[in-house]
């Protein structure tokens, strides 16, 4: 039986057929829509999605860049890189971190403290960041870890490099040191930010910091294909990194080491400079510390020891230590007086041990007095009374002008050391601005013997001495050897050319600078700092007398051998005002508390016949310059002059050698 | 002569064999092959668990389909309601004692197979409605009784599936049912009214959705809202498809898939993998293959004399279309992510079984196309 009859059946069929037709049309439209979307994704936006897909699957790992070396003048590495074995874990890729880390702890025999530190570090960083378990595995530990490696999945022994300072405490203040980059380093230096990888060491102070961008080098890159869980599947690419630039310094390790040896157990600084090229042969601040301690994070005990050392090893005395120069200023005072025609060399003062002026007594260091002295004698015996009288006539402002010209009161370097101090050479204007009070004439007197407001760094004194010793020409003190550095001969001929020019058209260049028309300081380089070179020569001769003639303040430290013979000037600067009662007591140095003892200073240049080097020796609370500082200079001079030949030979051999 | 024997129900085995739709069978085999290769690709070019069991299932269920094709259409017609009730019971069973996995209770443990009755319901509802409207006279189709009964028949399994919870399958069941209702002549105004009601009640419906389902809908409108969370699937899927380009990255070279960026690549996102590896050309060809299958199925329906056969074929063809459309639209970012497999391509025994049962009926309709069912 046919249900519903053929009519109903027919109508049913026609309805379903009609509706199926409508539906099929709709289906075609919908499929068309799907194709359109496929077209849009795969053809129109293919590039965009390909990029996204690559972004998904490719991940780059930056490798730590290898830091450039520091070399001394002779090419010896004074800051280099050592191979070290490290242990890394990426916590995200480890199934059971806690089990693993305890196993590692047992194998490496880590103590509880180190272990806790690792756990703390792990909790503070993201799970996909590399956790450095040990920065410096011993060979034994490395072997042991490799032995158990198959059961330590997720642990990676890594061969890495670390900074090393082979001369330990010798170059600490000069080079500075590196330590893990801090947040501050990242925000302040884009280069560091760009190249940062976990555990990257960057310079914290000294040359390591200021030359960071040259030293840092280029990251190597490993490009891996990773899966959705960040696991590396294939290495796609490996780009070798580039080692940072090596920097060759002007320093001589032998001399630097000698300075360190001389200053052993004392607080102080020694600087040695080539008086023509400005090359700094040595610059040491004592006490120092071993910068290698900072590499892996300094231990609390070591840090406390350094921090609590009363002699303050963290301070770089050579450039940040500000001290009254004492009698070492006298050559400049004398020069200034001569230059300004305040006195003639024949001017005489009768020193009775003290002088009454402006209702106050000013004492000479020698209680009995020097008798009648002229300028040469006054420098030789360092007669304070003479200098009181001469300064009075000179006035502080004219002294200020000369002292500044010769390098006092200004930073020696531009931008190498953040912490460098400019020091202070007082003037009437300065006092009015800084202290709001008028200049007192008595202050001129004590400024004339290097006390009172005046403050200089040991390196400034060295530069001052060098610029006197080369005949009074401006030089460029430097630590880094550059390709285009002028040779000694070039500089000498430049100086004599500048001198001729000066004689022909007096002071034209200086006048321009003074008028602010010639702004560049470098234009002034190797040009005369004096009005009349005879004045400079007079001062140098007096310094020779001070060292090499009987009654000279450093006569006992003289060297008679012409090859080593040097000239110098002692300085003893007071830390505390000495009362009349104390002066009467005339205590021996050992009876005075350390902090109240005088600073001992000595400036020198030599060899006297043909000067090439200048130095300044500074001993904090070292007593008198003549007894403490000058003997050190004597010992050092021998080394410096002996090294001179080596240096010249090396220069000849490596005429174009720049690290 | 042929008509005579057909009318009398006497068809020889040889005639039956000859009257099979070979184009359709061929397309299904091609699809089975493509799906097996895709499965092989999901496993990174190794024959592992998924590939093996997919191939076995395809072979077993395809053979089963061939055998069942020879079952007289009358028999399919006669078990139309029973099939629906059995599946309904299984659904109830699943919601009571079912196997739980990843937060929903969809499976019945039948010892040899973990059956997902909701998948079978997709076919059962079509068969049930085909029988219902086969017996209903055209002028009674829009009577109150004949509107209410199908509604209940449709809504009960939907509610059961929604509560598993499985939004995707319940939507597909609903759409399959509705499309049969539409084909069988239910007044268009009912569809218009009910869609209006649905639109108005949408906010209320959404408020009853599980949080993750709401998230999916929100994510659909803005996948970048939470690129590592809810938006991850759709973003990664679009990246995979988009990066495939014109001709694809090549077989076994879909980086999105083998590096595991692609979620659910065996099941709902199998088309994404295929599209990444074979590009626009491959995708359009695959879509074309589905179009042929749908067309052949509908064509069998068009030439069927029995209303049951016709309605089933039309209904089944349309639901295949719906599955394909929903799945592809979903992975291409045109629809929110709801769990919906791509027929035959996606991994899943129950879905494959249901699809093959459907094709058995279609083939049976072809063999018995002249048959009139009382």
CA-based nearest residue to A426, from A455, A449, A386: A455
Which 3-state string (H, E, C) describes B17-33? HHCCCHHHHHHHHHHHH
Q: How far apart are CA A364 and CA A385, in angstroms?
A: 5
The two tokens of residue A430 are 């300065």
- What's the whole-number average pLDDT of chain A? 88
Same domain, A270 and A228: no
Domain boundary among A230, A248, A266: A248
Whether residue B5 has pLDDT greater than 50: no
Q: Is B172 inside any structural domain?
A: yes
ipTM of the complex model = 0.92
CB A490, CB A278: distance < 8 Å: no
Question: Who among A12, A34, A39 is closest to B307 (CB)?
Answer: A12
CATH of the domain at A226: 3.90.1310.10
Among A423-432, B90-99, B103-112, top mean pLDDT goes to A423-432
- Choose, out of B259, B282, B318, the residue to mutate when testing the contact with A (most A CBs < 10 Å): B259
Residue B139 sits at the chain A interface (C-beta within 8 Å): yes
Inter-chain CB proximity A52 and B243 less than 8 Å: yes
Question: Who among A1, A8, A42 is closest to B245 (CB)?
Answer: A42
- Whether a cis peptide bond, with omega within 30° of 0, leads into A287 is yes
The two tokens of residue A224 are 């891996």
pLDDT band, very low/low/confident/very high, at B329 (cuts 50, 70, 90): very high
Whether residue B9 has pLDDT greater than 60: no
Q: How far apart are CA A533 and CA A500, in angstroms?
A: 12
Mean pLDDT of A70-85: 91
Same domain, A541 and A573: yes
More confident residue, B6 or B328: B328
Local structure of residue A169 (DSSP, 8 states): G
CA-based nearest residue to A212, from A260, A172, A178: A178
Same domain, A563 and A534: yes
Inter-chain CB proximity A27 and B294 less than 8 Å: yes
Same domain, A563 and A644: yes
Inter-chain CB proximity A12 and B138 less than 8 Å: yes
Residue A21 sits at the chain B interface (C-beta within 8 Å): no
Question: Who among B241, B291, B301 is closest to A42 (CB)?
Answer: B241
- B-chain residue closest to A38, CA distance: B280
Q: Is B337 inside any structural domain?
A: yes
Same domain, A172 and A264: no
CA-based nearest residue to A160, from A193, A187, A130, A182: A130
Same domain, A268 and A387: yes
Inter-chain CB proximity A49 and B241 less than 8 Å: yes
Whether residue A472 has pLDDT greater than 80: yes
Residue whose token pair is 């806690």: A98
Same domain, A353 and A242: no
Q: Is B251 inside any structural domain?
A: yes
B185 contacts on A by Cβ (under 8 Å): 12, 15-16, 19
Question: Who among B280, B310, B374 is closest to A3 (CB)?
Answer: B374
Contacts of A621 (CB under 8 A, 6+ apart): A267, A575, A594, A595, A596, A597, A598, A599
- A-chain residue closest to B298, CA distance: A20
Q: Is A559 inside any structural domain?
A: yes
Q: Quote the domain boundaries for residue B241.
A: 2-367
What's the pLDDT score for residue A523? 60
Inter-chain CB proximity B332 and A41 less than 8 Å: yes
- Cβ-in-10-Å burial (0-12, 13-18, 19+) of A368 comes to exposed
Mean pLDDT of A259-277: 94
Inter-chain CB proximity B325 and A45 less than 8 Å: no
3-state secondary structure of B306: coil
Q: Is B373 inside any structural domain?
A: no
Residue A102 sits at the chain B interface (C-beta within 8 Å): no
B302 contacts on A by Cβ (under 8 Å): 17, 20
Inter-chain CB proximity A16 and B329 less than 8 Å: no
Q: Where are the alpha helices (DSSP H) in A505-576?
A: 508-514, 533-548
Question: Who among B182, B255, B334 is closest to A19 (CB)?
Answer: B182
Q: Is A303 inside any structural domain?
A: yes
Domain boundary among A196, A225, A248: A248
- What's the whole-number average pLDDT of chain B? 89
More confident residue, A66 or A586: A66
Mean pLDDT of A602-613: 94
B233 contacts on A by Cβ (under 8 Å): none
Residue B294 sits at the chain A interface (C-beta within 8 Å): yes
* Nearest-CA distance B14 → chain A (Å): 28
pLDDT tens for residues B196-210?
A: 888 888 888 777 777
Same domain, A273 and A407: yes
Question: Who among A31, A42, A56 is closest to B291 (CB)?
Answer: A31
Inter-chain CB proximity A35 and B287 less than 8 Å: yes
Q: In the beta sheet, which residues pair with residue B87?
A: none
The two tokens of residue A65 are 């860049």
Mean pLDDT of A504-532: 63
CA B210 to chain centre: 24
Inter-chain CB proximity B280 and A38 less than 8 Å: yes
Q: How far apart are CA A640 and CA A644, in angstroms?
A: 6
A-facing residues of B in 299-358 (CB < 8 A) are: 301-302, 307, 310-311, 314, 318, 321, 325, 328-329, 332-334
Residue B260 sits at the chain A interface (C-beta within 8 Å): yes
Question: Who among B135, B182, B246 is closest to A43 (CB)?
Answer: B246
Q: Is B16 inside any structural domain?
A: yes
Among A16-20, A197-201, A277-281, top mean pLDDT goes to A277-281
CA-based nearest residue to A575, from A455, A430, A422: A455
Same domain, A427 and A378: yes
B275 contacts on A by Cβ (under 8 Å): 38, 42
A-facing residues of B in 227-256 (CB < 8 A) are: 236, 238-246, 255-256
* Nearest-CA distance A238 → chain B (Å): 20
Question: Who among A23, A34, A50 is closest to B332 (CB)?
Answer: A34
Question: Who among B244, B301, B310 is closest to A42 (CB)?
Answer: B244
The two tokens of residue A244 are 């940072």
Q: Is B372 inside any structural domain?
A: no
Inter-chain CB proximity B241 and A23 less than 8 Å: no
Question: Who among B185, B239, B374 is closest to A16 (CB)?
Answer: B185
Q: Is A265 inside any structural domain?
A: yes
More confident residue, A48 or B214: A48
What's the pLDDT score for residue A639? 94
- Whether a cis peptide bond, with omega within 30° of 0, leads into A607 is yes
Q: Is A95 inside any structural domain?
A: yes
A46 contacts on B by Cβ (under 8 Å): 242-246
pLDDT band, very low/low/confident/very high, at B110 (cuts 50, 70, 90): confident
3-state secondary structure of A585: helix
pLDDT band, very low/low/confident/very high, at A520 (cuts 50, 70, 90): very low
The radius of gyration of chain A's CA atoms, rounded to the nearest angstrom, is 36
Residue whose token pair is 């016709």: B310
Q: How many CB atoms lie within 10 A of CB A577?
A: 7
A53 contacts on B by Cβ (under 8 Å): 239-240, 242-243, 255-256
CB A331, CB A341: distance < 8 Å: no
Q: Is B374 inside any structural domain?
A: no
Whether residue A580 has pLDDT greater than 90: no
β-strand B104-109 against A232-239: which pairing, if any? unpaired
A11 contacts on B by Cβ (under 8 Å): 138
Question: What spatial distance separates the first Cα and last Cα of chain B, rounded to whole Å?
Answer: 22
Residue whose token pair is 């400005």: A278
3-state secondary structure of A89: strand
Q: Is A385 inside any structural domain?
A: yes
Contacts of A69 (CB under 8 A, 6+ apart): A77, A79, A80, A81, A246, A247, A659
- A-chain residue closest to B188, CA distance: A19
Residue A26 sits at the chain B interface (C-beta within 8 Å): no
Q: Quote the domain boundaries for residue A406.
A: 253-653
Same domain, A71 and A104: yes
Among A141-150, A221-230, B175-184, top mean pLDDT goes to B175-184
State the Cα torsion B88-B89-B94-B95 to the nearest 10°: 80
Inter-chain CB proximity A42 and B275 less than 8 Å: yes
Domain count, chain B: 1
3-state secondary structure of A189: coil
Domain boundary among A213, A248, A283: A248
Q: How far apart are CA B28 and CA B36, in angstroms?
A: 12
pLDDT tens for residues B33-90?
A: 999 999 999 988 889 999 999 999 999 999 999 999 999 999 999 999 999 999 999 9
Q: Is A116 inside any structural domain?
A: yes
Residue A33 sits at the chain B interface (C-beta within 8 Å): yes
Q: How far apart are CA A644 and CA A606, in angstroms?
A: 12
Residue B145 sits at the chain A interface (C-beta within 8 Å): no
Count residue pairs from A and B with Cβ separation < 8 A.
141
Same domain, A216 and A345: no
Question: Who among B133, B184, B279 is closest to A42 (CB)?
Answer: B279
Whether residue A517 has pLDDT greater than 50: no
* Nearest-CA distance A154 → chain B (Å): 20
Q: In the beta sheet, which residues pair with residue A528?
A: A473
Domain count, chain A: 2
B-facing residues of A in 565-584 (CB < 8 A) are: none
A233 contacts on B by Cβ (under 8 Å): 259
CATH of the domain at A405: 3.40.710.10
Q: How far apart are CA A427 and CA A378, in angstroms?
A: 24
pLDDT band, very low/low/confident/very high, at B321 (cuts 50, 70, 90): very high
What's the pLDDT score for residue A58? 87
Strand A599-606: give its sheet, edge to edge. A280-286, A268-274, A613-619, A599-606, A567-573
* Nearest-CA distance A58 → chain B (Å): 10
Residue A41 sits at the chain B interface (C-beta within 8 Å): yes
Same domain, A146 and A267: no
The two tokens of residue A492 are 């000498």
């Amino acid at each position: 039986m046919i249900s519903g009859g053929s009519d109903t059946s027919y109508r049913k069929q026609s309805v379903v057929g009609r509706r199926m037709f409508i539906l099929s049309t709709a289906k075609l439209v919908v499929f068309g829509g799907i194709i359109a979307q496929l077209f849009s994704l795969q053809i129109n936006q293919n590039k965009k999605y390909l990029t996204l897909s690559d972004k998904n699957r490719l991940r780059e790992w930056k490798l730590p860049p290898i830091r450039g070396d520091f070399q001394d003048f002779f090419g010896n590495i004074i800051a280099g890189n050592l191979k070290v074995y490290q242990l890394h874990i990426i916590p995200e890729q480890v199934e059971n971190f806690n089990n693993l880390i305890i196993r590692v702890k047992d194998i490496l025999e880590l103590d509880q403290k180190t272990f806790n530190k690792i756990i703390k570090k792990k909790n503070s960083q993201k799970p996909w960041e590399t956790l450095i378990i040990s920065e410096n595995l011993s060979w034994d530990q490395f072997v042991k870890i490799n032995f158990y490696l198959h059961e330590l999945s997720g642990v990676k022994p890594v061969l890495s490099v670390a900074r090393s300072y082979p001369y330990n405490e010798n170059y600490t203040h000069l080079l500075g040191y590196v330590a893990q980059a801090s947040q501050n380093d990242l925000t302040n230096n884009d280069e560091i930010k760009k190249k940062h990888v976990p555990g990257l060491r960057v310079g914290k102070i000294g040359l390591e910091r200021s030359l960071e961008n040259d030293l840092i080098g280029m990251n190597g890159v490993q490009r891996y294909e990773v899966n959705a869980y960040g696991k590396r599947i294939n290495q796609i690419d490996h780009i070798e990194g580039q080692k940072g630039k090596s920097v060759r310094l002007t320093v001589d390790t032998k001399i630097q080491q000698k300075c360190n040896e001389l200053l052993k157990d004392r607080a102080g600084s020694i600087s040695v400079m080539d008086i023509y090229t400005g090359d700094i042969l040595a610059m040491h601040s004592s006490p120092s510390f071993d910068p290698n301690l900072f590499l892996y994070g300094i231990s609390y005990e070591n840090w406390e020891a350094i921090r609590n050392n009363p002699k303050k090893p963290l301070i770089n005395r050579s450039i940040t230590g500000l001290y009254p120069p004492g009698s070492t200023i006298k050559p400049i005072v004398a020069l200034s007086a001569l230059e300004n025609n305040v006195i003639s060399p024949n001017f005489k003062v009768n020193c009775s041990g003290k002088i009454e002026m402006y209702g106050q007594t000013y004492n000479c260091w020698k209680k009995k007095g020097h008798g009648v002295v002229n300028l040469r004698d006054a420098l030789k015996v360092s007669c304070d009374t003479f200098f009181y009288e001469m300064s009075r006539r000179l006035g502080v402002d004219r002294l200020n002008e000369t002292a500044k010209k010769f390098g006092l009161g200004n930073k020696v370097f531009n931008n190498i050391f953040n912490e460098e101090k400019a020091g202070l050479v007082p003037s009437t204007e300065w006092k009015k601005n800084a202290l709001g009070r008028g200049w007192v004439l008595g202050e001129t007197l004590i400024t004339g013997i290097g006390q009172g407001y005046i403050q200089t760094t040991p390196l400034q004194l060295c530069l001052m001495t060098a610029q006197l010793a080369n005949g009074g020409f401006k030089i460029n003190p430097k630590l880094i050897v550059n390709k285009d550095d002028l040779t000694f001969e070039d500089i000498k001929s430049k100086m004599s050319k500048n001198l001729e020019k000066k004689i022909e058209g007096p002071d034209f260049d200086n006048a321009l600078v003074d008028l602010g028309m010639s702004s560049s300081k470098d234009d002034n380089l190797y040009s005369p700092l004096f009005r009349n070179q005879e004045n400079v020569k007079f001062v140098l001769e007096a310094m020779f007398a001070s060292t090499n003639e009987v009654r000279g303040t450093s006569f006992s430290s003289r060297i008679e051998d012409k090859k080593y013979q040097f000239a110098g000037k002692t300085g003893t600067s007071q830390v505390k005002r000495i009362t009349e009662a104390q002066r009467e007591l005339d205590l021996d140095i050992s009876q005075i508390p350390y902090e109240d003892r005088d600073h001992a200073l000595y400036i020198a240049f030599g060899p006297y016949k043909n000067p090439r080097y200048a130095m300044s020796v500074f001993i904090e609370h070292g007593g008198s310059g003549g007894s403490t500082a000058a003997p050190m200079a004597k010992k050092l001079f021998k080394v410096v002059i002996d090294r001179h030949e080596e240096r010249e030979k090396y220069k000849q051999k490596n005429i174009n050698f720049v690290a | 002569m042929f008509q005579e024997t057909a009318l009398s129900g006497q068809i020889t085995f040889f005639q039956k064999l000859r009257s099979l739709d070979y184009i359709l069978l061929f397309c299904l085999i091609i699809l089975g092959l493509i799906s097996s290769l895709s499965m092989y690709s999901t496993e990174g070019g190794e024959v592992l668990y998924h590939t093996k069991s997919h191939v076995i299932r395809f072979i077993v269920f395809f053979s089963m389909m061939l055998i069942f094709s020879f079952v007289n259409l009358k028999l399919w017609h006669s078990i139309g309601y029973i099939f629906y009730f059995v599946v309904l019971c299984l659904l109830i069973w699943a919601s009571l004692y079912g196997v739980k996995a990843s937060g929903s209770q969809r499976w019945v443990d039948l010892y040899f197979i973990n059956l997902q009755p909701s998948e079978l319901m997709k076919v059962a509802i079509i068969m049930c409605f085909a029988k219902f409207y086969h017996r209903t006279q055209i002028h009674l189709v829009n009577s109150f009784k004949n509107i209410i009964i199908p509604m209940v028949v449709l809504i009960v399994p939907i509610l059961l599936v929604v509560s598993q919870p499985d939004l995707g399958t319940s939507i597909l069941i609903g759409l399959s049912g509705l499309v049969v209702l539409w084909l069988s002549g239910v007044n268009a105004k009912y569809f218009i009214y009910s869609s209006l009601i649905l639109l108005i009640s949408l906010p209320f419906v959404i408020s009853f959705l599980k949080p993750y389902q709401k998230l999916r809908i929100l994510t659909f409108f803005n996948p970048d809202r939470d690129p590592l969370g809810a938006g991850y699937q759709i973003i990664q899927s679009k990246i995979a498809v988009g990066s495939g380009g014109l001709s694809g990255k090549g077989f076994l070279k879909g980086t999105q898939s083998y590096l595991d960026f692609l979620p659910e690549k065996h099941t709902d996102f199998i088309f994404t993998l295929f599209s990444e590896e074979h590009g626009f050309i491959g995708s359009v060809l695959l879509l074309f293959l589905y179009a042929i299958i749908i067309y052949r199925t509908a064509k069998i329906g068009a030439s069927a004399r029995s209303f049951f056969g016709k309605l089933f074929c039309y209904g089944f063809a349309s639901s295949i279309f719906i599955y394909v459309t929903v799945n592809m639209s979903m992975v291409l970012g045109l629809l929110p992510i709801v769990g919906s497999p791509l027929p035959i391509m996606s991994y899943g025994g129950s879905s494959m079984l249901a699809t093959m049962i459907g094709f058995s009926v279609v083939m049976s309709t072809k063999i018995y196309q002249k048959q009139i069912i009382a």
